[in-house]
Amino acid sequence: DSLQINADVVVGGNVRMIDHSGTSQLGINTATVGGDVFVWTDNGADVVSLSEATISGDVTFWAEKGDNLLSVSESTISGDLNLLSTRGHDDIVLDLSTVNGNVIFNTGDWMDSFALTNSTIGGNLWVFAGRHNDTVLINGLTVTGMTHLYMLQGQDNIRVQGTNSFGQFFFAGGILGKPDALELGGTNTFGGGQWTPSFESSTVSDALITSQITDGAVARADAARMDLGETTPLTLTVDTSSNNFIQAGNQDTTNLSTIAVTGTSTAGATIEVDLGGGTFTTATTTVGTDGTYTVDVPIAAGDNTVTIRATDGDDQLTQEFDIYRAVGTISRFVSNVGTFDVEFFDDDTPNHVANFLNYQTRFTNSIVHRVGTTANSGVDVIQGGGAVLNGTNLTGITTDAEVANEASSAHPNARGTIAAARTSDPDSATSQWYINTLDNFTLDSTANPFTVFGQVLGNGMDVVDTIYDTAISNISQFFTVSGVGLGTVPLLNSNTVPVQLTGTLTVDSTNLTTVTGTGTLFTTELTVGDSITIGDFTTTVIDIGSDTELILGTVATTAFVDATATTNNGPPAADAYIVFTSISTLLPKAT
């Protein structure tokens, strides 16, 4: 016969099981008993298995003949734990448990095995092993009271390993039987002294521990827990894939106000959702009989940390994920130094957002044409939207009608925001924009503040800061782009476009450092220190005598007659600019 008390059942009083015929089994798993547990059996391989149980009184297993098993795992017993058997191969396992009272194991004839591990005994420990070969393993045991291990007739073995504490007198005796072994290993504390007479050996073989304890008593206890209804461990999975989140600013992002969370857990478990307050009242559902659940989770605008909690009795598991809810349109800026994403303030600055979105296709191959610093302009920004790179030439972006100012104190010029560049006229914004790399609140303090219409998301400012930290150059001598200043252009390298010099050059073989020009404009097109390339020979100019005569820094490798030449003092090469290959909508405004 079998009696199982499982799944968080609470018994207010005592549990008594009396069975004098056949094999008897009692399993108490994740349950609570308010009184005593008493089991009285006769012949048979009888089993008492406690797993994650709480017993307020005593536990007594009075077994007669048979190969009996007492297993106590991850349990708490407020009173005493007792086993009395008369004959049989008995297995006793006490693991990861607390017994506040005394523990008394009195086994009769035949070979018995005791595994007392990782547990605490608040009272005394008494082991009376009867005739035949008995084995005791103690590992990680704390006994507050006395410890008495009486090993009677037979070849008995005790191994003490790990860290153990014996609060009062410790006695272990190999009585009558020979040869007996006591192996005191590990780290042990004996609070009241010790006496260990009548042992002929100080070593217990590993093979014996494996056969009698690991593969014997412990394996049998594990099997009993499964057979007698050990509860399935609580599980929890979380799946948000149905929401089709995107990555913006290196974070999961959506424009949904409510997201669907699905997953699996233990059937009947309660699923609760929390958004950071620790109350788990945002949403709730119950796991179905098929072990699946779906819960709709309302999320706030901006950053959200969503925690999903599964509860099954006393067991709980949680998982969390972060999700950013965008209210406005998100655009992606893809450049040759990295990508960043911007969310716009569609509701607060609708005209500026619509204006920017209308320019997006025209921003293809546009450059960052300005880095403003406190030193050079009083503000710290990067600026774009004014010029497009066509080959090696810069041209202006065709602009639409100007946009009226929409600035507000709700959106100051703080680090990470994007704003509209304009003239002193507050209603003159067109295609140009800037991103604040520091707090530039002076731009808010004027009578007509600059309109902030979006913010960089997530880790996007890492890319913006890289652009800001790039060395700047004045290239205004090469290009004139209406309304676009080119005095502080960030350039990735010093590569330039070779410029062909006017006229032809001759270098006589009798003087390979002097160049004579025909139709040349040396004083206009060159300065001392510029490079000059004639054929496949390159050197520098160290002196310019006139429009038709200059001196080379090194001797020419050969003579030249009416040759053409180039210099490196042209505009930047195409790979020197920071270029946006695309600026496009990644996620539309939520509807």
pLDDT tens string 362-393? 999 999 999 999 888 899 999 999 999 999 99
Are 478 and 511 within one domain? no
Token couple for 511: 């003087």
Q: Rounded to two decimals, what is the model's pTM?
A: 0.62
- Give the CATH number of the domain where residue 530 resides: 2.40.30
Looking at residue 16, its amino acid is R
Are 417 and 302 within one domain? no
Residue 244 falls in which region: left (phi positive, over 0), alpha (psi -120 to 50) or beta:
left
Question: Strand locations in 326-465, DSSP E?
Answer: 330-335, 338-344, 366-372, 381-390, 393-396, 417-420, 433-436, 452-456
Residues in the chain: 591
* Cβ neighbours of 20 (radius 10 Å): 11
Average pLDDT in the 230-249 region? 89
pLDDT tens string 306-327? 999 999 987 899 999 999 999 9
Token couple for 63: 């077994």
Are 112 and 212 within one domain? yes
Are 29 and 88 within one domain? yes
Are 163 and 59 within one domain? yes
Are 26 and 157 within one domain? yes
Q: How many domains does the chain have?
A: 4
State the residue range of the domain holding 14. 2-227
Distance CA 295, CA 238 (A): 11
Tell me what pLDDT residue 291 has: 95
Helix (H, G, I), strand (E, B) or coil at 542: strand
| 234 part of a folded domain | no
Closest CA to 114 of 130, 134, 92: 92
Percentage above 90 pLDDT, the chain: 76
The torsion angles phi and psi of 563, rounded to 5 degrees, stand at -90, 155
Tell me what pLDDT residue 286 has: 98
| 321 part of a folded domain | yes
Distance CA 356, CA 385 (A): 9
- Sorted by sequence, the CB contacts under 8 Å of residue 380 that are 6+ apart come out as 372, 373, 374, 436, 437, 438, 440, 468
Are 20 and 164 within one domain? yes
Are 129 and 210 within one domain? yes
The domain boundary residue, chosen from 227, 260, 294:
227
β-strand 537-546 against 531-534: which pairing, if any? antiparallel
CA distances from 455 to 333, 349, 417, 461 (A): 12, 12, 4, 10
Tell me what pLDDT residue 228 has: 77
| 576 part of a folded domain | no
pLDDT tens string 291-302? 999 999 999 999
Question: Hey, which residues does 418 pair with through a beta bridge?
Answer: 435, 454
Closest CA to 125 of 103, 106, 107: 103
Range scoring the smallest mean pLDDT among 126-140, 403-417, 569-583: 126-140
17 neighbors 301 (Cβ within 8 angstroms): no
Tell me what pLDDT residue 198 has: 80
| pLDDT over 70 (residue 154) | yes
513 neighbors 486 (Cβ within 8 angstroms): no
- Give the CATH number of the domain where residue 301 resides: 2.60.40.10
| 232 part of a folded domain | no
| 262 part of a folded domain | yes
Are 415 and 440 within one domain? yes
Q: Please list the alpha-helical segments (H only) found in 59-151.
A: none
Are 164 and 280 within one domain? no
pLDDT tens string 51-102? 989 999 999 988 877 888 889 999 999 999 998 887 778 899 999 999 999 9
The domain boundary residue, chosen from 325, 353, 369:
325
Range scoring the smallest mean pLDDT among 279-283, 574-578, 587-591: 587-591
Question: Hey, which residues does 16 pair with through a beta bridge?
Answer: 38
- Give the CATH number of the domain where residue 421 resides: 2.40.100.10
The torsion angles phi and psi of 183, rounded to 5 degrees, stand at -110, 110
The domain boundary residue, chosen from 469, 490, 511:
490
| 549 part of a folded domain | yes
Are 273 and 404 within one domain? no
Are 79 and 153 within one domain? yes
| 587 part of a folded domain | no
| 476 part of a folded domain | yes
Task: Give me the residue label for tokens 């008390």.
Answer: 5
Range scoring the smallest mean pLDDT among 8-22, 402-416, 510-524: 8-22
